[in-house]
Structures are given as C-alpha cells and as structure tokens.
Structure 1
Amino acid sequence: MRSSPDDSRAIDEAHAADEPHPEVRAVIDLLESMDAPSLTDLSPEEARAATEAMVRDSDIDVARVEDRRIDGPVGEIPIRIYDPAPERAADGAESRPTICYVHGGGWVVGSIDGADSTCRTLATETGYPVVSVGYRLAPEHPFPAGLEDCYTALEWTARNVDELGGDRDRLVVAGDSAGGNLATATALLTVRRGGPSVAYQVLVYPVTGDASETESYDAYGDGYLLSTAESEWFRNHYFERELDEWNVLAAPRLASDRLLSSLPPATVVTAGFDPLRDDGAAYADRLADADVPVTCRNYPDVIHGFFGMLEPPTELTVAHEAHADVAADLHGALE
C-alpha cells in the first residue's frame, strides 16, 4: 500500500490474519519445543551466547563475501560486504545502489553472523552490494553508541562506494527491528550532520517509539516469538537514562513533521502477529504526514523475525516473498 496524506492510514491497514500461517505455526512449535529460557532470565552475555548458538552457516550463494574492520568512534567496527556480481565493479559497468544493513536484536543481541542469510538474500534479490554493520551492543554500550557506529559505517560506505561498484547518490539504509530503528535514526543523523545523502530506507518491523501504547503490543505480546517482557528487557538495557527514550534519534516517531520531511522514501514492513506491528505502521503514517513517500507492506499471517527466516529449519515462503517485494520497491524507486 502506497501511503500519502490522502490515502488510507497504515495503522488501519496493518492487521493480523485469523491464524498464523501453517509454516509459521510450525516454526513457533519448533522453537517452543526447544524449551529455551526467556531472554529476560538471562544476562546480556548469556542471551548473546544463546542467540548465537542458533546461528547456522548459510547455503545461500553470493558471488563475493568479505569481512573487514573499519575505524569507528571507539575502536574498530566489523562489517561484512556482500556483492552478488563483483565483475560489475571490476569491469567499470554502470554502478548500482548500495545497501547499508543494520541487524536486529533489541540493541543487545544479534550480530553480522545472525543477519547473514538476510543480507545474502537481499543482495541476490536486488543485485546490489550490501554492507552489514556489526555495531556496539548495550548495555555495555548504551544509546547512542550503536547509532554512532551505524553512522560511521554509512560514511565509510559512501567514501568507498566506487570500490563496491555502487553509486553514492543511491545509498540505502535498511534494518530489521532494532536495526530498523538504527537505520532510520542514521538517516536522521546524516541530515543533522550534513553527512552522506540517503536515497531510500527499508524498515522491517522497526522500533520507532513507545510500542506499549499500541493495540498490537497487548494482543501479540506472548506466544509469537517476541514477548512484551523481552521488549522491555531490551529497552531497559539500551537506555542508560530515562531521558534518552524521548530523544528522536531513539524514538523517531516523536520527531517533528519538519524533521521527518527531510528523510528519503521508505518501505515499512510489518507482521500481523507482531507486538511491534502498530509501532511500525504508526511511523509509516508519520512519514506520510510529512510528505515522505512510503510503501507499507503488512504480512498478516507471520510473526516478528520472519524476514530472516530464509533457510531450514525455520524457512518461510513468505520471507522470500517479502524480500522479492522489497527488491521490487528498491528497483522501482532507484532504477
């Protein structure tokens, strides 16, 4: 759904199906059968170890994948570069849009490895190089440390875009969940600082404000992978001061229309059975109110995290469909 001030509201369009898709129900049952503890019962270190233990090597082939480390505000930032067609960069062919991708994990868990399947699929579906960012995690590095790393990675991508076979006028910021929050906050930060110009945003079930004030937060906060208790656990670790929760770089839904109007077009992806569904939809409406072109894509029969469920044993058909939809949005906007 293309949203504008005169169209139907995204918050009205976002909804859940009567039941989760059978593939989704099978994934929920599989995860529940593992009887893993809730993240709220673990320390951040234990939560990271448990999350990373579930990461498997990807079978999704990409022509070139390269790990690097770049200079950051404090120490080095790991990045991983995915290029689906490196010969294009080598032979001087026409440059492509370039995606700077930020993984999810509530600002506390998650990693480049955890986002590997997502970035591989995004690169192969779009045909664009992808730079995946390993930003610093909370609570050791609370807001805005991870955001500063993402901004630094975007600056690096812009400086090195020729090497990537990319186009500095067609930079994309993208991310899922907390990564969606950091992606759009990076776009806001680059406006404030006069940094690299961002041409498009892909925000997958992003955190954009206080989700607890929305209907979906109460309706789907238990039994659908992400719980409201875990959402609060993440927020409590990310924010060192209560005041930070009101910073528009942490809660972009609170930004003024004037500030939001400086942002590039966006695709906002939501999931029907996701406590964050209405938060993402409300942000899409805020962007539309600020005259930012927004494509809203709600997938009514899936759960939070579905965009990364691309390989067995948690592979979802709709995850591949969503990647194809996002690629179509990018091609339509940037080519």
Structure 2
Amino acid sequence: MVLHPAIHQFLESMPQSDSNQKIIPEEHRNAMNTPVIPLEERVQVHSVEEQTIPTKEGDVNVRIYTPELKDAYPILMYFHGGAFFSGSLESHDEIVRPIAMESGYKVISVDYCLAPEHPFPAALEDCYNVTKWAREHIDELNWDGENLAVAGDSSGGNLAAAVSLVAKEKKEFTITKQILYYPSLDLDFDRNRYLSLMENRKGNGLETDALPEYNSFYLSGGADPTNPLVSPIKAESLENLPSALVITAEHDPLRDEGELYAEKLKNAGVEVMMKRYEGTIHGFLAKWTHLDEYKDVYRLTGDFLKKGI
C-alpha cells in the first residue's frame, strides 16, 4: 500500500536528510521534547503524578497516570522510544494517556537514563528496577496483585522485551503481558538481514542508513549487539514469556524484525497478537493516530490488556 496521503505530504515537506551529517543527541532531544498537542487538548485522565523512585543504581523519575478512581488497578510500565538517546516523559505523554484510558491500567512511564552518557545496560537496569519497585509497592499503587504488563515503542519496545527476558530469568516478579510498538529488536546491524531495511531505506522518516549511528550510542560502552538483552530477537529461548501484542508499520525499516519476533514468540508457544498498520511509518503513534486508519491502535491495546482480567 502506498503511504497515506497526509503522511506523504508531511514527509515531502521535510528537508532532505544528509547521511554524512553527524547526529547530535542533544538536538534530537530538544526536538523530540517540543510539545505538538497542547496539554488541554490531550486525552484527560483522572490524575498524573510525578515521582522519583530510588533504586540500587540511582534515582529514576516516573510519571504515574491513573485513569479513574477505583479500589485496585492493573499496572502497565511504559518505556518511551527515542533510539535510547532521546525521548522523555513529556515526549510520550500524549501516547501514554490514551493507553491508560482505553485499558483501565494505571500506567507508570519511566524516565530511564539515556545514552551515550549512560550506555547499555543502564536503561535496561532502570526499567527493570522500577518495574521491581512497582511490584513491591502494592499498597502504595493500589495494584490488583495480578496484572503487571510492560510496553514500549521503538527502543522502548526493545526495553520491554528485554525486561520480560530478565524477569523470566530472575523470577523476582512476573510480567503478565508485553506490548511492542514498532520495536527495535536487532541492534546487530545488517542491512541485508531484513527486506524492510531495503524497501524502506529512505524517505520514510526513520532511514536505514541512520540506524548504525543510532545504535552506536547505546552500544558505546562496549556492549555485544548479539547479546539477547541488547537484541532480544537473538534470545535462544522465548518460551514462557508473557503474551504479546506486536504492532508494526508498513513503511518502517524495523517492520520485519518486529514481525519475525512475533513469529518466534508464536513458535515458542507464546500467545501473540500481531498487526501491521498499512500506509504508515515508524513513530506513527505520536503523530498520526488522529487519522481514521490508525486511531484504533489504542482500542486494540486496551482490548489486549483487558483480556483475561
């Protein structure tokens, strides 16, 4: 399917990227944190609370979204995207709000530390430790004692998958569901490994030629890109992982690794729901869910999370 006309028009209006220009993380952070939708026009929730969580690696800021007032809540940990070196609580506020309202989950959005100042495994440790904190603070969060899910987009999808792998191994708590929006799951870069890297190489926002440099910030501490906690798609066994919702975008270089991971989960006996959104690009949750073709992604998320509760 061709690009949606509104998305095509937007991409045509953007200046051409220069593949030789070095990426400056701070510039990306500033651009990503610039609000697009005024706060009063975003989905309204019952309450939003800022909190600082102490962990053994240091303090981590979170934003807790309560969709409505009730006695107990299922909990969803949200890990934002941004290629591990950008993104924040604010950049993903407009994504987290509708997830909370559609699902009824209390959502804890995690402001994990960013590369290259904090390369792998710092972000993963932050996300895992805050999830562990949530599990240990049942009364404070009014947790229902049963449902503890993780979710993330792009690099945040990587972190959600990796937290699920670590939780399975350590057995300190149980993740019940994982949601991966157009996830970055294979940092062992090879442009010939996935057809989508060539099909969507240029002109769709996220470009294939930029991926090695994006990944390099997270790997700058000497991490092995074949490590399953860096590239979850490399895990030898995906058995006994939480049920998964995997969302991909047709015109995304990362499309095929997300879909392959969904297939691998299915083959390992994990319950999987997978949907590819046609005519759209990487990052569409933040920009294009006002369009009729994509607005049901939050309803789909809510239905998946509420299933079995």
| TM superposition score normalised by structure 2 | 0.92
Whole-angstrom distance in 2 between the partners of 1:175 and 1:38: 27
Whole-angstrom distance in 2 between the partners of 1:318 and 1:72: 41
Aligned mate of 2:95, from 118, 131, 143: 118
Amino acid across the alignment from 1:41: K
The correspondence of residues 78-117 of structure 1 with structure 2, limited to 5 A, is 78-85=61-68, 87-88=69-70, 92=71, 95-117=72-94
1:40–1:232 CA distance, 2 compared to 1 (3 A) = farther
Whole-angstrom distance in 2 between the partners of 1:234 and 1:26: 26
Cα distance per residue 1:91-144 (max 9 Å; x no partner): x3xx33211000000001111111100100101111211000000111111111
Amino acid across the alignment from 1:261: E
Deviation of the 1:40 alpha carbon:
5.2
Find the residue that maps to 1:147 and give its secondary structure: helix
Whole-angstrom distance in 2 between the partners of 1:219 and 1:81: 39
* Corresponding position of 1:179: 156
Find the residue that maps to 1:170 and give its secondary structure: strand
The correspondence of residues 10-25 of structure 1 with structure 2, limited to 5 A, is 17=1, 19-25=2-8
- Name structure 2 gaps, 5 residues minimum: none
Find the residue that maps to 2:9 and give its secondary structure: helix
Deviation of the 1:286 alpha carbon:
1.0
* Corresponding position of 1:297: 275
* Corresponding position of 2:25: 44
1:197–1:280 CA distance, 2 compared to 1 (3 A) = same
- The structure where helix makes up a greater share of residues is 1
* Corresponding position of 2:53: 70
1:156–1:306 CA distance, 2 compared to 1 (3 A) = same
Whole-angstrom distance in 2 between the partners of 1:252 and 1:134: 21
* Corresponding position of 1:158: 135
| Larger RCO: 1 or 2 (CA < 8 Å, sep 6+) | 1
Would you say the 8 A contact 2:116–2:217 is kept in 1? yes
1:27–1:319 CA distance, 2 compared to 1 (3 A) = farther
- Name structure 1 gaps, 5 residues minimum: 1-16
Would you say the 8 A contact 2:277–2:294 is kept in 1? no
Whole-angstrom distance in 2 between the partners of 1:317 and 1:142: 38
* Corresponding position of 2:301: 326
Q: Which range moves more in the overlay, 282-291 or 53-62?
A: 53-62
The correspondence of residues 1-335 of structure 1 with structure 2, limited to 5 A, is 17=1, 19-30=2-13, 32=14, 41-53=22-34, 55-58=36-39, 59=41, 60-85=43-68, 87-88=69-70, 92=71, 95-209=72-186, 210=188, 212=191, 213-240=193-220, 244-257=224-237, 260-309=238-287, 315-332=290-307, 334-335=308-309
Whole-angstrom distance in 1 between the partners of 2:32 and 2:282: 15
Whole-angstrom distance in 2 between the partners of 1:61 and 1:179: 23
Cα distance per residue 1:153-194 (max 9 Å; x no partner): 101111224333332321000000000000010011112222
1:243–1:104 CA distance, 2 compared to 1 (3 A) = closer
For the aligned residue pairs, the C-alpha RMSD in angstroms reads 2.1
Amino acid across the alignment from 1:27: F
Whole-angstrom distance in 2 between the partners of 1:110 and 1:73: 23
Deviation of the 1:39 alpha carbon:
10
Would you say the 8 A contact 2:182–2:247 is kept in 1? yes
Find the residue that maps to 1:162 and give its secondary structure: helix
Q: Which range moves more in the overlay, 48-57 or 141-150?
A: 48-57
Whole-angstrom distance in 2 between the partners of 1:275 and 1:71: 37
Whole-angstrom distance in 2 between the partners of 1:293 and 1:170: 16
Deviation of the 1:36 alpha carbon:
7.9
State the identity %: 36
Whole-angstrom distance in 2 between the partners of 1:36 and 1:253: 29
Amino acid across the alignment from 2:252: D
Amino acid across the alignment from 1:320: K
Whole-angstrom distance in 2 between the partners of 1:220 and 1:316: 22
